[in-house]
């Protein structure tokens, strides 16, 4: 019987910040202090407060330590675990108020969150099925198999109004219903764990922090649609998630919760993993299925839809990891519980990966309808360095930007589509006045061009040409005709591409053109980048009033572009300057400016 539990966050951010070392030192120090039998150390999934990792949470309390370093551990062990004294300098600063230390759940970051998909992340040891069961795991499956018919299960999901969390937002219950409606000797349930959006790690956190929730949900789905085999298509770049899933599958099989005769009801359902191989396009439904079949991951025309002819030409259901993560709770708490949260057409919560110019980067799960302002300023802690909010990009390379004028927009599927963006899988990147929107569009398009499968002309060649025009603009060679060409090509690609990747590739461009056209025009007409990002349009100049003539810059310049006499103001020859920035770095008087 342990008197204390120490939870160490093993999420992606904390792991790369040094969590493994923390665990090692923690175990050593606890053994040294002779309290190994009193204190349990658990590695958990992601807590979400990634900017403040490594995170260590001590129960009872809980006490939430952030930015912990290995050299802090002896103090935590000896002061807190042995002597019972909280180490206040390590407590997460947001908790510290004039009235004392408040609960972590009261901090702005967590106050407005409601964790359904991330329920177990940060709490349980994902490698122990008993901890999953202890928090109510597999109870939903048990109830489904013994008390509900498949049709009843489907109706519960329909009534919950859950919509696909992978980006498409298709009503999940309807998808299940369609898959059930098609008869075949074999049906399949697939899970899309390819998570390709750059910077997205929502699904990764669920898979690493709570793998059983996906297994349980897929089994429930198998029962509902009449399938006996499931496949999780997971990107090979998530080796820890793969390892955790394999362990979870083995444990579930051992406990009779997966495989043959589940819960002794005679229902058979098994799950296997299939690994991706570095293609974003394999996150597209039909490309994913053809990849599992062993073919080159290229999308197929629809119809026929996977519900009729999917994997191996059999009726197949495909849902995203996060969609599945909601299923067991909906079964247990009932559909009304879920549909009571959110907006009129978007129910429940959504996990977002907050990134960019924001204090609290990390993972958050918020009810639909939370405004962008709340996400950025309350939950996100606002924009650092006194900068102003410019835009937020949602939906990654398939999405668009939300400008400051829409700061109070309640986040839900239809609102975002209405302003030219989309929810996507949950990436939310915040931008301030130092971001160039043309450069942002170019960044996303570069990704899309690289990930295009190459099957259809509009995407294969069209996005490439689109990128080339953007590149031209950022280099100061764009014309007003190029802007028209850009827009025309965007619309054409949207309307003609074969799959979602191509159809949504122009979104970042169209969206930034819509809300930041003046920035494009500045690049084209004035040959200037207002945010001072596009290198080719920048000039490094020496302020003659600040320059002391120390000659340090001239001596540092790799191209001999700076001239001047000692103690006299120096001058940069713009023709020779390659904008490497070394001079600005070296100048001790702040005399070198970027225009």
Partner 1 sequence: MPLWRYTDTLEWEVNMDKVNIKINGIPLEVPAGITILEAAKMAHIDIPTLCFLKEINEIGACRICVVEVKGARSLVASCVYPVSDGMEIRTDSPKILASRKKTLELILSDHDRKCLSCVRSGHCELQKLCKDLGIDDETIYAGERNHYEPDDSSPHMVRDNNKCILCRRCSAVCDHVQGIGVIGANERGFKTNIGCAFDMDLGETSCVSCGQCIAVCPTGALYEKDYTNEVFAAINDPDKYVIVQTAPAVRAALGEAFGLPIGTNVQGKMVAALRRLGFDKVFDTDFAADLTIMEEAHELIDRLQSGGTLPLITSCSPGWIKFCEHYYPDLLDNLSSCKSPQQMFGAVTKTYYAKKMGLDPKNIVMVSVMPCTAKKFEITRDHQNAAGVPDVDIAITTRELARMIERVGINFLALPDEEFDDPLGRSTGAAVIFGATGGVMEAALRTAVETLTGEELPDPVFSEVRGTAGIKTATYNVAGMDINVAVASGLGNARKLLDEIKEGNSPYHFIEIMACPGGCVNGGGQPQQPASVRNSVDIRALRAKALYDQDTAMKIRKSHENPAVRQLYEEFLEAPGSHVAHEILHTSYVKRAVNPY
Instruction: Give residues in contact with partner 1 (CB under 8 A).
Output: 279, 281, 296, 298, 300-301, 303, 449-458, 460-462, 464-465, 468, 489, 492, 494-498, 503
- Shortest Cβ 419–partner 1 spacing (Å): 18
- Pair of tokens at residue 10: 């093993």
Of 339 and 503, the one with the shorter C-beta distance to partner 1 is 503
Of 465 and 527, the one with the shorter C-beta distance to partner 1 is 465
- Pair of tokens at residue 134: 């202890």
Of 472 and 586, the one with the shorter C-beta distance to partner 1 is 472
How far apart CA 215 and CA 248 sit, in angstroms, is: 8
How far apart CA 229 and CA 316 sit, in angstroms, is: 10
Helices (H), 354-479: 372-373, 413-418, 437-451, 457, 463-474
- Shortest Cβ 311–partner 1 spacing (Å): 18
- Shortest Cβ 299–partner 1 spacing (Å): 10
How far apart CA 425 and CA 547 sit, in angstroms, is: 50
Of 126 and 506, the one with the shorter C-beta distance to partner 1 is 506
Question: Is the dihedral angle over the CA atoms 156, 157, 158, 161 positive or is it negative?
Answer: positive
Of 217 and 422, the one with the shorter C-beta distance to partner 1 is 422
Of 278 and 384, the one with the shorter C-beta distance to partner 1 is 278
Secondary structure (DSSP) of 516-541:
-HHHHHIIIII---TTS--GGG--EE
How far apart CA 257 and CA 127 sit, in angstroms, is: 16
Q: 390 by DSSP, 3-state: which?
A: strand
Of 107 and 452, the one with the shorter C-beta distance to partner 1 is 452
- Give which of 45, 6, 40 is closest to 240, Cα–Cα: 45
- Shortest Cβ 194–partner 1 spacing (Å): 15
Of 36 and 464, the one with the shorter C-beta distance to partner 1 is 464
* DSSP bridge pairs for 56: 8, 65
- Shortest Cβ 182–partner 1 spacing (Å): 15
* DSSP bridge pairs for 351: 365
- Shortest Cβ 56–partner 1 spacing (Å): 43
- Pair of tokens at residue 191: 């899970």
Of 154 and 279, the one with the shorter C-beta distance to partner 1 is 279
How far apart CA 484 and CA 593 sit, in angstroms, is: 34
Of 161 and 298, the one with the shorter C-beta distance to partner 1 is 298
Of 266 and 301, the one with the shorter C-beta distance to partner 1 is 301
- Give which of 318, 292, 117 is closest to 207, Cα–Cα: 117
- Shortest Cβ 321–partner 1 spacing (Å): 24
Of 11 and 462, the one with the shorter C-beta distance to partner 1 is 462
How far apart CA 451 and CA 279 sit, in angstroms, is: 6
The answer to whether 163 and 170 are in contact (CB under 8 A) is yes
- Give which of 256, 255, 283 is closest to 268, Cα–Cα: 256
- Shortest Cβ 461–partner 1 spacing (Å): 4
* DSSP bridge pairs for 191: 232, 319
- Shortest Cβ 454–partner 1 spacing (Å): 3
State the burial class of residue 266 (Cβ atoms within 10 Å of its Cβ: 0-12, 13-18, 19+).
exposed
**Residue 387 has what DSSP assignment?**
P
- Shortest Cβ 298–partner 1 spacing (Å): 8
- Shortest Cβ 484–partner 1 spacing (Å): 13
For 64, 305, 495, 582, the CA distances from 430, given in Å and listed in that order, are 26, 36, 29, 28
How far apart CA 163 and CA 241 sit, in angstroms, is: 24
- Shortest Cβ 503–partner 1 spacing (Å): 6
- Pair of tokens at residue 213: 């929730």
Secondary structure (DSSP) of 97-146:
ETTEEPPGGGSHHHHT---STTTTTTTS-TT-HHHHHHTTTTHHHHHHHH
Of 264 and 303, the one with the shorter C-beta distance to partner 1 is 303
Q: 3 by DSSP, 3-state: which?
A: coil
- Shortest Cβ 84–partner 1 spacing (Å): 59
- Pair of tokens at residue 547: 């320059």
């Amino acid at each position: 019987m342990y008197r204390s539990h120490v939870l160490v966050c093993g999420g992606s951010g904390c792991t790369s910040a040094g969590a493994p070392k923390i665990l090692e030192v923690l175990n050593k120090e606890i053994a040294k202090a002779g309290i190994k039998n009193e204190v349990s150390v658990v590695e958990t999934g992601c807590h979400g407060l990634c900017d403040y990792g490594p995170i260590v949470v001590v129960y009872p309390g809980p006490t939430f330590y952030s930015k912990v370093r290995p050299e802090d551990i002896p103090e935590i062990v000896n002061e807190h675990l042995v002597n019972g004294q909280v180490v206040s300098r390590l407590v997460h600063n947001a908790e510290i108020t004039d009235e004392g230390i408040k609960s972590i759940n009261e901090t702005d970051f967590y106050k407005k969150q409601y964790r359904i998909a991330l329920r177990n992340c940060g709490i349980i040891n994902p490698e122990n099925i008993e901890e999953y069961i202890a928090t109510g795991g597999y109870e939903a499956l048990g109830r489904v198999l013994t008390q509900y018919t498949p049709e009843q299960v489907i109706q519960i999901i329909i009534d919950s109004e859950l919509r696909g969390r992978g980006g498409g937002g298709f009503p999940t219950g309807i998808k299940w219903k369609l898959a059930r409606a098609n008869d075949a000797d074999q049906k399949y349930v697939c899970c899309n764990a390819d998570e390709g959006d750059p910077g997205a790690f929502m699904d990764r956190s669920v898979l690493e922090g709570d793998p059983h929730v996906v297994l349980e949900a897929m089994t429930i789905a198998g029962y509902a649609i009449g399938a006996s085999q499931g496949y999780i298509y997971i990107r090979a770049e998530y080796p820890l998630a793969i390892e955790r899933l394999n362990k979870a599958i083995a444990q579930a099989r051992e406990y009779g919760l997966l495989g043959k005769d589940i819960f002794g009801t005679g229902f058979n359902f098994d799950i296997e993993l299939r690994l991706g191989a570095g293609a974003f396009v394999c996150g597209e439904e039909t490309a994913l299925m053809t990849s599992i079949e062993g073919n080159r991951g290229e999308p197929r025309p629809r119809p026929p839809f996977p519900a009729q002819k999917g994997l191996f030409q059999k009726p197949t259901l495909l849902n995203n990891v996060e969609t599945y993560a909601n299923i067991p709770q909906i079964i247990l708490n009932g559909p009304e519980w879920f549909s009571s949260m959110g907006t009129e057409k978007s129910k429940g919560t959504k996990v977002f990966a907050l990134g960019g110019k924001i204090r609290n980067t990390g993972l958050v799960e918020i009810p639909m309808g939370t405004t962008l302002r709340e996400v950025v300023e309350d939950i996100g802690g606002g924009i650092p360095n006194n900068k102003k909010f410019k835009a937020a990009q949602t939906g990654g390379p398939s999405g668009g930007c939300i400008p400051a004028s829409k700061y109070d927009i309640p986040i839900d599927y239809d609102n975002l589509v209405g302003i030219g963006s989309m929810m996507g899988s949950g990436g939310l990147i915040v931008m301030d006045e130092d971001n160039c929107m043309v450069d942002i569009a170019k960044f996303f398009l570069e990704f899309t061009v690289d990930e295009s499968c190459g099957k259809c002309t509009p995407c294969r060649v069209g996005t490439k040409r689109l990128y080339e025009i953007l590149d031209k603009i950022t280099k100061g060679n764009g014309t007003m005709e190029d802007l028209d060409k850009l827009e025309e090509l965007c619309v054409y690609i949207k309307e003609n591409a074969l799959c979602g990747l191509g159809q949504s590739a122009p979104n970042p461009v169209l969206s930034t053109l819509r809300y930041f056209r003046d920035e494009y025009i500045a690049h084209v007409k004035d040959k200037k980048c207002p945010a001072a990002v596009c290198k080719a349009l920048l000039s490094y100049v020496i302020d003659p009033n600040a320059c002391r003539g120390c000659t340090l810059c001239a001596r540092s310049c790799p191209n001999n572009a700076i001239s001047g006499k000692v103690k006299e103001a120096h001058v940069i020859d713009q023709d020779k300057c390659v904008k490497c920035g070394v001079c600005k770095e070296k100048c001790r008087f702040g005399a070198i400016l970027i225009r």
